[in-house]
Amino acid sequence: MIKKYAAAILLILICSLSFAQQTPKKILAANDIDTFLANFAGIQVDLGELGNKYDSFFDPDGSAATQASADPTASYIRLRDAIAPDEVQAIFRNHGLGDNGFAKYLVISFGVSVLYMEKMLAIPDPAYSATPEAKAYFDQVSLMVKNMRAAVNADDISLLAARQDELIGMYTPSN
C-alpha cells in the first residue's frame, strides 16, 4: 500500500515538474533570420507608422515606461502568447515573415537581447565586484538574463547566436 502511495506521489511530482518546465516552442528557421535582416528597416518604419494605436496591446497596464524593475521575461511571455492585432500581424506578413511573423519578431528581438547581455556580462570588469552592492547587482542581472534565455527555445537561440553580430548591429546605432 505504501509503495502505491509513493508511486502516486512520485508520478504527481514528475508530472508537475514536466509541466512547470515546458520547453518553449521553436519559432524560427534560418530563412526567417535572413528575411528579418533584409526587411528590418521596412518593418521598423511600418511599426512606427502605427504610432500609439496599439499601446494598450503592447503595454496593457501602462507601466512599461515607468517600471524600472519590470520583468522583461514576463512581458515577453505575455506578448509571445498573445494574438497580435491584425494590422500589426499584417506588417510582418507583408515583410515575408508569414502568419506568425509577430512571434518571430519577438523571438528575434528578445533572443538578441539575451545574447547581447550575455556578451556584455562575459567581459571581465573590476566594477562587477568592486563592492558587495555591485556584485549583488550583477548577480541579479545574471539571474535575470538566465531566466530570459530559458524563455526562448534553445534551437532558436542557436540560430540567433550564429548571426548575433549581424543581428546586434541591427539594433545598435552606428558610430
User: Per-10-residue mean pLDDT for the chain, 175 residues long?
Assistant: 39 39 88 96 94 82 55 87 92 96 95 94 78 84 93 97 93 67
Output DSSP code: residue 60. Answer: T
Query: What is the Cα–Cα distance from 101 to 139, expressed in whole angstroms?
Result: 34
**CA 91 to centroid of chain Cα atoms:** 20
- pLDDT attached to residue 63: 59
- pLDDT attached to residue 93: 97
**CA 162 to centroid of chain Cα atoms:** 17
- pLDDT attached to residue 72: 87
Cβ-based neighbours of 120, under 8 Å, separated by 6 or more = none
- Answer for the pair 108, 36: CB distance below 8 angstroms, yes or no: yes
Which one, of 145, 82, 143, 169, lies nearest residue 160 by Cα? 169
Domain that holds residue 165: 27-171
Let me know if residue 22 belongs to a domain: no
Cβ-based neighbours of 46, under 8 Å, separated by 6 or more = 91, 94, 95
- Answer for the pair 24, 153: CB distance below 8 angstroms, yes or no: yes
Let me know if residue 5 belongs to a domain: no
- pLDDT attached to residue 14: 41
Let me know if residue 21 belongs to a domain: no
Question: Domain total for the chain?
Answer: 1
Let me know if residue 9 belongs to a domain: no
Cell of 108: 528575434
Let me know if residue 15 belongs to a domain: no
- Answer for the pair 42, 172: CB distance below 8 angstroms, yes or no: no
Half-sphere exposure of 86 (CA within 13 A, CB side): 0
Which one, of 171, 112, 113, lies nearest residue 141 by Cα? 113
Let me know if residue 101 belongs to a domain: yes
Let me know if residue 132 belongs to a domain: yes
Whole-model pTM?
0.80
Let me know if residue 86 belongs to a domain: yes
Cβ-based neighbours of 129, under 8 Å, separated by 6 or more = 135, 138
- pLDDT attached to residue 153: 97
- pLDDT attached to residue 6: 36
